[in-house]
Amino acid sequence: MQITRIRPAGRGGHLRAVTLGDGRRFLVDAERAIPFALAEGLDIDAALEERLATLAEETRAHEAALALLRYRPRSRVELRNRLRRRGCAPAVIETVFADLVTSGAVDDRRFARFWIESRLGGGRNGPHRLRAELRLKGVDPAIIEETLHASLPTEQEAELAAIAADRYLARRQALPAEVVLRRLVGLLRRRGFSSSVIAPILRESARRMRAQNGDRLGAGEVVDTP
C-alpha cells in the first residue's frame, strides 16, 4: 500500500488530505504529521497505517475542539463531554487536551471569568446562581470562589440586585405592596443574590412604596424574610 496523493485541505492551510492506494483518505494536521515523513509514493505498512489513522482521529478531535472554543470559552469538563458525544476516544481526547492546555486554549480560570462577566448584566444573576452554574460546568470549587471574589465584590452584587429590584418594582406597581415585596424576595433568591444583599433592598423598597402610595405593609413579616 502506498500514499498516492497529499494535498492541502481546510481553510487554514494547516491540514493535509492523505490518500492511500485503496482510496481511503486521512485528514491530518501538517505539523503533527512531520515525524511521519509522509510523502507521495511512500510505502505504508500496517503499523504506519494504524498511526496515520490515530493521527487523523486526533486531528478531527482537535479541529472539533477549536471550533467549539471559537464559539465561546469552555471549561475542561464541558469540552471533554462535547468531544465524547462526538465519538472521540478517551485516549484521543486526552492527547488533544494536553496540547490545548499547554497552548492556553483551555483554561478554567479564564472560562470562569468569561462566564461570570457575561452573565452579570442587568442584575440577571447573583453569586449563588453563578456558583451553581460553574459547578455544573465542572469548574473546581477553589477556582470558582477565587474568580467570584475578584469579579463580583459585595458592593457590585448589591448594585446588580438593586437594578433587578428596580426593574421588577417598575412593572408591579398595580399589585398590593405585600405581594410585590414577597415576590421580589423570590425573584432575587432565584437569581442567586445573597440574603445579606436582599434584606436592605427590601427595606428600602418598602420605604419607597410607603412614601409613594401609603400602603400599610406587614413589614416585619415581609422585609425580614431573608
Q: Say yes or no: 16 and 83 in one domain.
A: yes
Same domain, yes or no: 131 and 114: yes
**Does one domain contain both 100 and 158?**
no
Quick one: 161 and 137 in the same domain? no
**Percentage of residues in the chain with pLDDT exceeding 70?**
92
Indicate if 180 and 224 belong to the same structural domain.
yes
Confidence at 214, pLDDT banded by 50, 70, 90: low
Q: pLDDT confidence of 6, banded at 50, 70, 90?
A: confident
Q: Which helix (H) or strand (E) holds 6?
A: strand 3-9
211 and 167 within one domain: yes
Q: Which residue has the higher pLDDT, 224 or 68?
A: 68
Domain count, the chain: 3
Domain boundary among 72, 89, 106: 106
Q: What is the pLDDT of residues 62-86, one digit of tens each?
A: 999 999 999 889 999 999 999 999 8
CATH code for the domain of 35: 1.10.10.10
Residue 226 has pLDDT above 50, yes or no: no
**Quick one: average pLDDT of 115-142?**
88
Residues 83 and 120 in one domain: no
State the CB neighbour count (10 A cutoff) for residue 137.
Answer: 19
Residues 73, 121 share a domain: no
CB-based contacts of 62, cutoff 8 Å, min separation 6:
29, 96, 99, 100
174-210 pLDDT per residue, tens: 777 888 888 889 989 988 998 888 999 888 888 887 7
Which of 119, 152, 185 is a domain's end point?
Answer: 152
**Is the pLDDT at 219 greater than 90, yes or no?**
no
Mean pLDDT of 101-118: 92
Residue 220 shares a structural domain with residue 174: yes
| Domain of residue 129, CATH code | 1.10.10
What range defines the domain where residue 78 resides? 3-106
Do 40 and 123 belong to one domain? no
pLDDT at residue 218 is higher than 70: no
> Are the beta carbons of 189 and 127 closer than 8 angstroms?
no
Query: What is the structure's pLDDT at 122?
Result: 65
Long-range contacts of 149-152 (CB under 8 A, 24+ apart): 150/113, 151/113, 151/116, 151/117, 151/120, 152/116, 152/120, 152/127
* Residues 128-136, mean pLDDT to the nearest whole number: 93
Per-residue confidence (pLDDT) for residue 57, from 0 to 100: 93
Please check whether residues 124 and 59 belong to one and the same domain.
Answer: no
Q: Is the pTM here over 0.85, yes or no?
A: no
